Amino acid sequence: MLYAVLETLSPADDSIVHSEELFLTPWEYEERKRELSDLQEIIILEDNIA
């Protein structure tokens, strides 16, 4: 499992307008990464969580 944060940025100034903590399998992470908009980023904080 991966522990990650999904951040949505403001189009005006790149400040974070929404943040979501996620626990994902590597497959789910890859799927989410493909679906990101230009104003979103996903950051892995920790991997190999049991």
pTM for the model stands at 0.84
Task: Collect all residues with Cβ–Cβ distance below 8 Å to 33 and sequence separation of at least 6.
Answer: 42
Q: Which residue has the tokens 């497959």?
A: 27
DSSP 28: H
* pLDDT at 37 > cutoff 90: yes
Q: What is the pLDDT of residue 46?
A: 96
> For residues 33 and 48, what is the distance between their CA atoms, to the nearest angstrom?
18
Q: 3-33, pLDDT tens digit by residue? A: 999 999 999 998 999 999 999 999 999 999 9
